[in-house]
Amino acid sequence: MHIHILGICGTFMGGLAALAREAGHKVTGCDANVYPPMSDQLRALGIELVEGYGADQLAVAPDLFVVGNVVTRGNPLVEAMLDAGAAYTSGPQWLAEHVLQGRHVLAVAGTHGKTTTSAMLAWALEQAGLKPGFLIGGVPMNFGVSARLGEGKSFVIEADEYDTAFFDKRSKFVHYRPRTAVLNNLEFDHADIFDDVAAIERQFHHLVRTVPASGRLVVNAREESLQRVLAMGCWSELVRFGARKEAPGELRARGEPHAFDVLRGSLKIGRVEWPLLGEHNQMNALAAIAAAEHVGVAPDVAARALATFENVRRRLELRGAVRVGEGDVRVYDDFAHHPTAMRTTINGLRRKIDAQQTSHHEPRQRILAVFEPRSNTMKIGAMKAQLPWSLEEADLAFCHSGGLSWDASQALAPLGHQAVVCDSIDKLVAGVVAAARPGDHVLCMSNGGFGGIHQKLLDALATKA
């Protein structure tokens, strides 16, 4: 089968392309913005990429167009495709019919941590010898690719609540029919398609409805929103994780996020020791361990596997360091784009810096947070009031305001001189470089390519050095 994928450089559609190619299909695709790491991964697979959505791509004449949710009515290729009566489907539907059928699907849903938890789960299964397939919205460094078919029965998928396509407004994850479903957390997001958190809770309930009675739901015990989802109906085995107090059958952690015991009730069933920091990663680990158990991986085996977990690209990924004066300035890349994720990421970096600082007599190393409100939710300003809260642990915050319909300077005013707003990438780079001091950590946060800012900062810092 020859499939032509619209929106192929998105993390989901790019992973789907890799799976289709591995399965022996001919794959081509197009996108408006082609940027790493997905573009590099696709080219390495020999997948031909077309820039833009020109109607002339009808001449590619695939057996099937696979349409990503990034494209809408009015798109030239979509309009030409519809006029021609060409065969088309959505990415999640194609995946369900051609890859997931007959597999034990382990789906990881939630506002935050989907990618990292999916990567942890896939690695735990891999280390246990299950050779799972997976499709993850990022590149796990243990595997080096975001998707593979795998050889075993298990398939791990990052399960997104965003809508499926312009012709299918259900959440993507209702297509996956998981036997094991992780509900990691649930906050308001995707303000462009959901009116409120209750609308998202309803979609999560639709996911719960697809899990069989012999399946397992792995649910964050701390989230009131998820308890409301369960109250709408639950027909499967339920395992909660992350409770702050002992509860029968529930998984919880005892110890610091980088070294902790995994408890079921009062019984120790595993121990995790790894380089990751932050309570969010501790919670992600508990979820992965509980999900892995459902396909026969003992909790102590999964916990030991996590000791060699290398995280995911663009999760506090160090892109480079430049010697400036008496010390290095480090530049990081992170996918955070929701205010809660931004706050969690900054806190994680702060913990990492403080843990590594050997002397209390040294000056405290600074974090310079550089971000662009790029998601649809952020672009329309639905969460602008939360930005000062999300950035308060940073020493300085630099915001790229290009293309926003709201006043970023006004939104960040509570931070005072701690915040700087620039309307272009070049101005942003100049501002960061001017402010940078030896020992600083520059944290760039975006769910896109951010105009190649990471290398631009490293190059500009090198001239300052």
Instruction: List pLDDT tens digits, range 41-56.
Output: 788 888 989 989 999 9
Q: Name, in order, each residue with C-beta under 8 angstroms of 213's C-beta and a sequence gap of 6 or more.
A: 235, 236
Domain-terminating residue out of 248, 283, 308: 308
| pLDDT at residue 355 is higher than 70 | yes
CATH at 193? 3.40.1190.10
> Residue 251: pLDDT band by 50, 70, 90 thresholds?
very high
141 part of a folded domain: yes
Residue 361 banded pLDDT, cuts 50, 70, 90: low
Domain assignment present for residue 6? The answer is yes
Q: Which of 267, 285, 308 is the last residue of a domain?
A: 308
Contact at 8 Å (CB) between 441 and 368?
A: yes
In a shared domain, residues 107 and 234: yes
Does 267 map to a domain?
A: yes
Residue where one domain finishes, among candidates 270, 285, 308: 308
Q: Are strands 267-273 and 259-264 parallel, antiparallel or unpaired?
A: antiparallel
| Bridge partners of residue 219, in order along the sequence | 183, 240
The reply to whether 334 and 451 lie within a common domain is yes
The answer to whether residue 359 scores a pLDDT higher than 70 is no
Q: What is the pLDDT of residue 358?
A: 63
In a domain, 192, yes or no: yes
Does the structure show a pLDDT above 70 at 65? yes
* Amino acid of residue 335: F
Q: List 30's β-bridge partners, or say none.
A: 6, 50
The answer to whether position 346 is within a domain reads: yes
Residues contacting residue 331 through CB under 8 Å, at least 6 positions apart: 318, 319, 320, 321, 322, 442, 444, 454, 457, 458, 461
Residue 40 clears pLDDT 80, i.e. is over it: no
- What are the pLDDT digits (tens) for 154-209? 999 999 988 999 999 999 999 999 999 999 988 776 667 777 889 999 999 999 99
Here the CATH number for the domain that contains residue 61 is 3.40.50.720
In a domain, 276, yes or no: yes
283 close to 183: Cβ distance less than 8 angstroms = no
Q: Which domain holds residue 364?
A: 317-464
Residues 201 and 322 both lie in one domain: no
Do 263 and 123 share a structural domain?
yes
- Please state whether the predicted TM-score (pTM) of the whole model is above 0.75: yes
Q: Considering its fold, how many domains does the chain have in total?
A: 3
Are 371 and 450 in a shared domain? yes
Return all residues near 20 (Cβ < 8 A) that are at least 6 apart.
Answer: 3, 27, 94, 98
Residues 376 and 443 in one domain: yes
pLDDT band at 364 (very low <50, low <70, confident <90, very high): confident
Same domain, 36 and 133: no
Q: 259 and 180, same structural domain?
A: yes
Judge if 420 and 452 occupy the same domain.
Answer: yes
Considering the domain boundaries, does residue 97 fall inside one? no
Residues 162 and 272 in one domain: yes
What pLDDT digit, counting tens, does each position of 75-131 carry? 999 999 999 999 999 999 999 999 999 999 999 999 888 999 999 999 999 999 999
Confidence of residue 308 (pLDDT cuts 50, 70, 90): very high
Average pLDDT over residues 290-301: 98
- Tell whether 198 is covered by a domain: yes
> Is there a single domain that holds both residue 123 and residue 264?
yes
Residue 38 pLDDT > 90, yes or no? no
Pick the more confident residue, 430 or 192. 430
| 465 pLDDT more than 70 | no
Residues 191 and 333 occupy one common structural domain? no
For residue 343, the domain's CATH number is 3.90.190.20
